[in-house]
Structure formats: structure tokens, C-alpha cells
Structure 1
Amino acid sequence: MTSTRGRVAALLGAVAVVAGTTLATPATGSAATAAGPARTGGGITGQAPCPDAPEFRCGTLTVPFDHSGATPGTLRLDVATTGNADAPKGDLLYLTGGPGQPGVPSIKRTADILAPVLKDYRLVMVDQRGTGRGALRCPGLQEDMGSSDLVVPRRQSVTDCAAALGPDSRHYSTADTVADIDLLRRALGDRRLTLDGVSYGSFVVQRYALAHPAHVARLVLDSVAPREGFDPMDLAALPATARVLRAACRATGCTTDPAADLAATVRRYGNGAQILSALTGYEFIDPDYRAVPAILHQAADGQPAALQDFFDLVHREVDAAPAEELSQGLHSAALCADSHFPWGTTDTPVAGRAAALERARQRLTPEQTWPFDPATATGLGSLLVCLDWPREPVPPTPPAHRRLPDVPVLLLGGDRDLSTPYEVLQQVAGTAHHPQIVIVPGAAHSVQNRAENPAGRRAVYDFLLK
């Protein structure tokens, strides 16, 4: 899931329309080179005031389309910075979520949020490959899923997207983004970066730190994604839903048990995946879930009309998003390349995947999935996208035993977050040497951007200014 929206960006480069899907075309020319003087941004070309926010500077970083060199061509990524190139603590790279959300359009909002530290840091934001004005465009999949991870798309939408992206989709993995970020570091003239990542951005931060440990100074992980990649069966969120709904119920004084009503509704209608998707979206509207207990109580009692209205509301008000705000083409390409599934990886033949998924469903226990059911775990949207994604080579995964570099790490979460429940944060904290953990009461996903409680932002300021 994503956080802020907006439009500030220079044109990323040529695009080609293929079978209804827009795919960024590798351009000709050389890749970005190592920077010149420290933090001048010498490897970022065309720097000028950003068109819609002239107090910031926008430019372009050129990166190889294929970092192995096997496929020729380059991509041009938009980069935006605050103007203080001589900031005493260096560059702070802020990474947005998804995967599929651009960074440059939200630099003004992010600079406002991080204003207390920007005398000491220069803020840097980038449109990761396949996002923003260079978004991978899959119209059918975008219409079906919008900004959601969990909405179940039409199978034809998945097939059309995968066919249009073709074999080039494998060059939009997190490993490619990590390589791009190190070229950005060099272009900025930095020996080390401070990185702040939200949601999927926290996953990119972890992967960058594991790949380039000598080049990180501090890490902020907000709404923490698991370091091994997205869990396609969401086995952290399923049981966490009971904790979150009951906590929200206590805070708002509701008189029912929303977890028990949720379990009864799933048993009655078999719609667990749709409910989890809607709840995960609704946290962006109301982290107290005020309307939810009554809706679930009615549905459990055989009156599902309000529940259907709830589904429609979330899909209309939260999930709907154009590719420029969150590219479902990039989202699918990255998750299918990065993740481990019940059938293995996307390098597994397609023919055996459905049978492996069914075997996984049969092995699931009620304790793993309550108040949902095993069919919920194996029926979520992003998992089903990758079930039908064509077979392709995938990048290697960092060894599970490898710890994050021995640098300061702040892990930030909300106790109402269903997108990345704080149980995941606690697991990731075990891979850091001296983690600082802040769980913000009443906050849902994307604490820095969205939480009414300022405790998380204050923790970030204190951490970055030490």
C-alpha cells in the first residue's frame, strides 16, 4: 500500500504501447557514471527547478536497463532534491512504497514532514524504475486492483499484462532497483546514504543495506515489510486482524466482538479475501475502524448489504488509482520476481503451481488463519497474479542468516496496521544489531505520512539528529 499522492516530475523518457500495456522503452546511450565532487549531483543531468515545485531541484539519472549488460539500453529515472547540497549530515534518501509508487511527486509533502531535520540533511527522492511518468501500464490490471495488494483481479487482466510486458518484466525486480540506488549514491557523490523507507520502501532499504553495507549510515524502516519479501499468503495479517479490530473496538466503545463476527461472516459467505482486502484499504480512511464492528455483526447475522456497500466504498475511495500513482504493472513484475510462493519462485513451471497451492491450503491450520480460513490465505490478489505469471529467471535472495549492517536502525510501526502488522516489524528487528523500536498507538500504515499521533515522526527526528 502507498501513502501520499501528487504530481511533480519531469518527463522520464519514451514509452511504447504494446498490446494495451505501456512499457518503458530502454533508451540508447551510456549509463550514469560515478559522481564528481562530493554531493554536487554531477551524475544527475538536466537539473532545474521542479516544474510544479520550483523550491526543489529535479533532474534525471540514467541507469542500465539490464545491470548485467546482457540486454542493451538505459532507463532515465527522475530525481528530486532539496537545495542544500552542503547539508552537514549528507543525503537522506526517502523511498516510497508499493511496489509501484513514484517518489518525486511527493517531495513537497515529504519535505514538510521531515522539515525539522532538513537543515542537517539534503532530502533526495527518486522515481524507481517502472513508476511515475515511466510507469509500466497494464490497463486491465490497473482497473481491477488500483493501489491494492489484495483485490482479486480478472485472470484475463493478468494474462494481458504479463504478455504485454514480456520477458523484459524480469528487469523490474527489487534487485534492479537496489542497483539503481547505488548508482544514484555515486551520482550524488556520497560515500554513505541515510535511508528512510516506508512499506515496500522499507524492503528496498533492507535489500540495499544487505547488498551495500559499507554505504549506509542510518536506516529508518516505517511500516516494515519482511526482509525475505512479501508473504503471498499474508499469514501475519490474518491473525493480526483479530488483535487490531478488538483494539479498535475497545478504543471506540463498541459492544460486539468484531473478530468473532468476522470469523462467522467468513464461514457463512466464504469471502475472506475480499474482507481482508477491504479492511486493509479502510485503515487509510479510519484507523479506528469505527464502522466495521456493526457491519460485521450484521453480516454474521445474515444481513450482508452493509458489507457489500463497505467493499464498494473501499474500492472506489481507496483502491482506485492510475498507474502514475501506483503502477500495477510494476507491482506485479516486482512481487512475482522477488517472492517465494507455495510452489517455489516464478522460475517454477506454471503447470504445477496450482496443485502446490492447493497442498499448501490443506496444510494450513485454524491457528494460522483465524478469524479467516485457509481459503483466504490462498485466494489473495497478488498471490493469484503470480500464480499465472509466466515462468522467468529470478534474482537470488540474500541468505536468511545475514544481519543488517551494524548501523543505527529505527523500526516504526502502528498498532492498527494490517498492511504490515507490527509482528513483522519485531521479526525484522531481530536482524538488526541495536534496533530502536517505536510502535505508535492508534496509527495504521505509513506512520510518518498518516498517523495523527506525532510520536512516530518525533522518533524519526530524534533518531536522525543524533
Structure 2
Amino acid sequence: MTTNRGSRPLLLALSLSAAVVAGVALTGGAVAPAAAAGIGWGDCDAALKPLPGQRCALLSVPLDYADPDGPRIELAVSRLPSTRPEARRGTLVVIPGGPGSSGVQRLAQKGAALSAEMDGAYDLVAFDPRGVGGSAKARCGLDDADRWMVTLRSWPGADGRIDDNVARSRRIAEACARNGGPMLRSLTTANQVRDLDRLRQALGERKLSAWSVSYGTYVAAAYAEKFPGRTDRWVLDSSNDPDPKRVARGWLEGMAQGADDRFPDFAAWAAHPDRADDGLRLAERAEDVRPLVLDLAARLDREPRASATPGVPLTGAMILQALQQALYSDASFPAFARLVTEALDPAGEPVLPRELAGAMPDDVAAITVGVICNDVDWPRSSTRTFERAVAADRERHPLTAGLPVNVTPCAYWKGGAVEKPVRVTERGPSNILMIQNLRDPSTPYANGLRMREALGERARLVSVDHGGHGVYLGNGNACGDRAVTRFLTEGVRPAEDVLCR
């Protein structure tokens, strides 16, 4: 999920950085926000790099659906109309990952390929969830030091200590409670589901079809649970465990197994003789790549290296975070191998990935923690409990070094879950197609099977013998792409679950 930036999942649990979209606003200010009676489409801001024919608008929705006549916020929405109106059968909504990814940006990135596959069958539509991109933002007022990816994510200290993580998590939770207000509390999956249905109404559609990715599959599953009669052809690409008692906490823990499942793909690539010509061959044998990377991380934790970014040294946590990012896509392997070779070279000056070279904006940090902490109650465990969990997980899964079970701001979140999480069930129409890579670092295959089990006879699963995060139009597997395209355009699903090799 190419890198598929628009589908990258939550920073605390699954992902790279959430996309910052500056260019989804309407140009000229002449187009009114969308209303229930319809949407007034206008030109997209050039900074979005919109596709030919792509249009943008603003959709007005309640800040709090329990107070429909109260304050309202605006969401950025975008549409790529069908190129063959005579063939059009409806609207396909593109539901991004995250929490924190932009649907409008993803439509700009994937719209051309998706349009070619759909051959005019749909208008393609997407929106930026509240808190994201061109939509209304929340802010926590976090210090710069707390908004770096390797600090907002709870990487333990070099020796496994979590004292800094505990203090930072408390500080972030307190700042969000003090500064976030109603906008921050409105950042929930339940509200994204409601916002999606408001978009359906504004489009004048009785039903929607959908292509959802990563965290977006949870949104899509929750929508299908709440509004089963309003779903047409529903695709869940790279699903995670929908257990309502855990949700994002379970997704975070699954990242450890996901990294273990995926790393052998990188090791085989990095040990291949073809890498030597580019200076990127890390070892002669694939089995030697993992200890090399772990040894480098340990050395950098003891003695960080100066990087090409002034004042920002390369640490072991940064190497492991860069690895998590690289595992999302084969296309990212060269950049990570280059970072490793630069760090191993005594005369080298490692060039940090952009996501690790500076603090993320406060509104991006807010959406990153807001949804996952608002969606479900997290355990209020003692520091000692977290210490024991981190120590055990570091032993079992050194590639993630205890991060997946470490303390997060959600452990100190004020007010707990906003609403009771949805339970995904097999009640509803049998109109869902799931697709899942066997070696996904972010939404592990075993967790995808839990979504499959929850949906029962409502779904069919296409498993793809491939690594990386995101399947459809993402990794070149013709069998998987063909299955999704045929379902969306012809309504034909496999009669039973299938494996694409």
C-alpha cells in the first residue's frame, strides 16, 4: 500500500506519518459548502496536484451528532466523475487508512489507476476525515519534542527502560485534555461513519460502494454494521482485528508479529547478489541480515551517529522506525538499505527519512492519538505492568523492541472512550470482498482472519502470497487485482475464499 501514502495507518499503532494535505481547499472561494440537497463542486487547489476532471467541495456536518442543531464543521470532499456516464452504476467511495490519512489525497494518487479499472462504472469520491487535511482540525498544543515520530510512538529507551515513555504519555494526555476541546473528542470512528453517511445523502445516492484500506476497513466494517442496507459492493483491503474490547490496542500489539512475518522478504532482497551493483547488499546470506540490523540498532542506541540533519542524531529507535516504514512496500527497500550502509560506514553521513527528520504538525499529532484513544478504553495498568510487558516483547520480537506493548497516551486519556465500540457481525447482506497480503507488517494476516471470522458469510477473502501493506493496485498481483475489479464492476465474487500466488 508503491508506498500508498494515503493509506498509511496510525502512527502509534501501525504506520508512517499521516499525510499533511495543504491543497484540498476550493480555489477562488466561490463555491458554497455541500449541503444535504447536493454538493456544489469547484476547482481543487493546485497544491493537491488534482487529476484532470477532479473536483473539490466542502461538506457541512454536525460537530456533535447528539446536538444536530449545534456547531458545525466542514469536511473536504472530492470527486472524479465517471468517464462513461452511460456505463455509470453508482458512486464508489475511497476510504483511507490512518487514523490520519487523507481520502482526497489518496483519490488524487490512485484515481487514474482506479478509473481505468472501473471503466466508467462509478463516480469516484473521497473525503478527508475530521481532523485531517482540508477538513476541520483539532489541536493538542504539544511541545515540539513530543511530536517527533520516535517520541510520539513509544519506543523504549536503549536499555528497555520506559520512564521517559510514561512521563511523555502523561504529558500528551494532559495537554490534549487541556487544549483539545469538543473538536478533539469528536475524532472517533463512529463519527467518521456518520460523516460518510452524510456524504452519501449529499450525493443523492441510495447506496454506496467502497474501496477501503487499512484502518479504513474498520470504518467500512462499522458502516456496514450500522447501515447494512446502504452498502452496495464493499471492498476491505488489508483488514485488522475488529475486536471491540481492544480495537487499536490490538492493532498495535499485532505490529510485532507483522514485522516478523515481513522481514524475511527484505532480508532476501538485501542479500541478493543484484544489490551489490548499487552498494546495497547488506550480507551474503539472508539469515545474516536480521542480526546485522539489530546489532546496528543496539550500537546506535549506545552511541548515536550524527546525521545529515543538523542537531538530529541517528539512534537505534530511528533505525527500527525506518525499518517499519520500509516494510510497507518493496519499493522502500533500497532507501532503508542505503540508510543502513551509511550508518555502517565510519565516514558516512546518514540521510534521515523525511518522516524522522523533524516534528510533525500539532494537528497531525492530535488526529494520531485522538481517534485511537477516543474509540475504546485502554487499560490503566501500572508502570511495572508495562515494564514487564515491554521486557518480554523485546525478547520475543526484537525488531519492534517492545514498542507494540508499551505505554501510550491512551493509558492516561481523560474521559475514556467517547462511545461503545461497534461489534462487527455476520448480520447483513453478503456483499463484502476482503483482500489481504500473507506478509503484511501493519495488518498481519492472522488479524485479517479475525475480521473474516467476524463477518462470516457476509464476506469472501482473497489472500495474496505477497508482502507489504495494501493489496489492490498496490503490489502488481494480477490475480488479486482482477478479483477486486471483477467484483466492483461485475458484482462477481469468488464462490469461496481463494489464494492468489
| TM-score between the two structures when normalised by the length of structure 2 | 0.70
Equivalence for 2:413: 389
Equivalence for 2:131: 130
Cα contact 1:263–1:370 (8 A) shared by 2? no
What SS does the aligned partner of 2:180 have?
A: helix
Cα contact 2:257–2:441 (8 A) shared by 1? no
Equivalence for 1:370: 396
- Distance of aligned partners of 1:447 and 1:377 in 2 relative to their CA distance in 1, 3 Å threshold: same
Q: Distance in 2 between matches of 1:336 and 1:181?
A: 21
* Pairwise CA distance, 1:450: 4.1
* Pairwise CA distance, 1:79: 1.5
Equivalence for 1:172: 187
Kindly provide the amino acid, as one letter, of the partner of residue 179 in structure 1: R
Q: Distance in 2 between matches of 1:417 and 1:393?
A: 28
Residues 240-298 of structure 1 deviation map (CA, whole Å, 9 limit, x = unaligned): 322321243235545134456677788896999766533221225646746879999x9
Decide which of 65, 70, 73 is 1:72's aligned counterpart: 70
What SS does the aligned partner of 2:205 have?
A: coil
- Distance of aligned partners of 1:195 and 1:147 in 2 relative to their CA distance in 1, 3 Å threshold: farther
Cα contact 1:241–1:259 (8 A) shared by 2? no
Cα contact 2:241–2:448 (8 A) shared by 1? yes
Decide which of 426, 430, 433 is 2:453's aligned counterpart: 430
Which structure 2 residues correspond to residues 400-411 of structure 1 after superposition, within 5 A?
402-403=425-426, 405-411=428-434
| TM-score between the two structures when normalised by the length of structure 1 | 0.74
Kindly provide the amino acid, as one letter, of the partner of residue 71 in structure 2: G
Cα contact 1:284–1:318 (8 A) shared by 2? no
Which structure 2 residues correspond to residues 97-116 of structure 1 after superposition, within 5 A?
97-115=97-115, 116=117
What SS does the aligned partner of 1:43 have?
A: coil
Residues 33-56 of structure 1 deviation map (CA, whole Å, 9 limit, x = unaligned): 3xxxxxxxx432x32233434612
Decide which of 413, 419, 435 is 2:436's aligned counterpart: 413
- Distance of aligned partners of 1:340 and 1:278 in 2 relative to their CA distance in 1, 3 Å threshold: farther
Cα contact 1:95–1:196 (8 A) shared by 2? yes
Equivalence for 2:321: 277
Kindly provide the amino acid, as one letter, of the partner of residue 63 in structure 1: V
Kindly provide the amino acid, as one letter, of the partner of residue 409 in structure 2: V
Alpha-carbon RMSD across the aligned residues, in angstroms, is 4.2
Q: Distance in 2 between matches of 1:7 and 1:186?
A: 27
- Distance of aligned partners of 1:9 and 1:411 in 2 relative to their CA distance in 1, 3 Å threshold: same
Equivalence for 1:238: 256
Q: Distance in 2 between matches of 1:285 and 1:139?
A: 33
Give the paired residue count. Answer: 419
Q: Distance in 1 between matches of 2:349 and 2:444?
A: 22
Identity of aligned residues (%): 25
Decide which of 204, 221, 225 is 2:240's aligned counterpart: 225
- Distance of aligned partners of 1:207 and 1:310 in 2 relative to their CA distance in 1, 3 Å threshold: farther
Does residue 328 (structure 1) correspond to residue 365 (structure 2)? The answer is yes
Kindly provide the amino acid, as one letter, of the partner of residue 74 in structure 2: R
* Pairwise CA distance, 1:176: 0.8
* Pairwise CA distance, 1:216: 0.8
Decide which of 39, 42, 53 is 1:48's aligned counterpart: 42
Q: Distance in 1 between matches of 2:394 and 2:422?
A: 26
Kindly provide the amino acid, as one letter, of the partner of residue 411 in structure 2: L
Q: Distance in 2 between matches of 1:58 and 1:415?
A: 36
Q: Distance in 2 between matches of 1:285 and 1:361?
A: 32
Cα contact 2:265–2:467 (8 A) shared by 1? no
* Unaligned runs of at least 5 residues, structure 1: 15-28, 34-41, 299-303, 344-352
* Pairwise CA distance, 1:214: 1.1
* Pairwise CA distance, 1:129: 1.1
What SS does the aligned partner of 1:66 have?
A: coil
* Pairwise CA distance, 1:421: 1.8
* Pairwise CA distance, 1:337: 0.8
What SS does the aligned partner of 1:236 have?
A: helix
Which structure 2 residues correspond to residues 251-262 of structure 1 after superposition, within 5 A?
251=269, 252-253=271-272, 254-255=284-285, 256-259=287-290
Decide which of 348, 352, 361 is 1:313's aligned counterpart: 352
- Distance of aligned partners of 1:313 and 1:151 in 2 relative to their CA distance in 1, 3 Å threshold: farther
* Unaligned runs of at least 5 residues, structure 2: 7-18, 156-164, 273-283, 303-314, 491-501
Equivalence for 1:117: 118
Kindly provide the amino acid, as one letter, of the partner of residue 352 in structure 2: L
* Pairwise CA distance, 1:305: 5.9
What SS does the aligned partner of 1:132 have?
A: coil
* Pairwise CA distance, 1:168: 3.9
- Distance of aligned partners of 1:32 and 1:319 in 2 relative to their CA distance in 1, 3 Å threshold: farther
Residues 369-406 of structure 1 deviation map (CA, whole Å, 9 limit, x = unaligned): 72238843332xxx512223323452112236x22633
- Distance of aligned partners of 1:365 and 1:106 in 2 relative to their CA distance in 1, 3 Å threshold: closer
Kindly provide the amino acid, as one letter, of the partner of residue 78 in structure 2: A
Q: Distance in 1 between matches of 2:26 and 2:236?
A: 30
Cα contact 2:212–2:236 (8 A) shared by 1? yes
* Pairwise CA distance, 1:151: 5.6
Kindly provide the amino acid, as one letter, of the partner of residue 38 in structure 2: G
Cα contact 1:43–1:61 (8 A) shared by 2? no
Q: Distance in 2 between matches of 1:183 and 1:289?
A: 40
Q: Distance in 1 between matches of 2:75 and 2:44?
A: 14
Does residue 446 (structure 1) correspond to residue 446 (structure 2)? The answer is no
Residues 123-143 of structure 1 deviation map (CA, whole Å, 9 limit, x = unaligned): 011111111123334564787
* Pairwise CA distance, 1:89: 2.3
* Pairwise CA distance, 1:194: 0.8
What SS does the aligned partner of 1:231 have?
A: helix
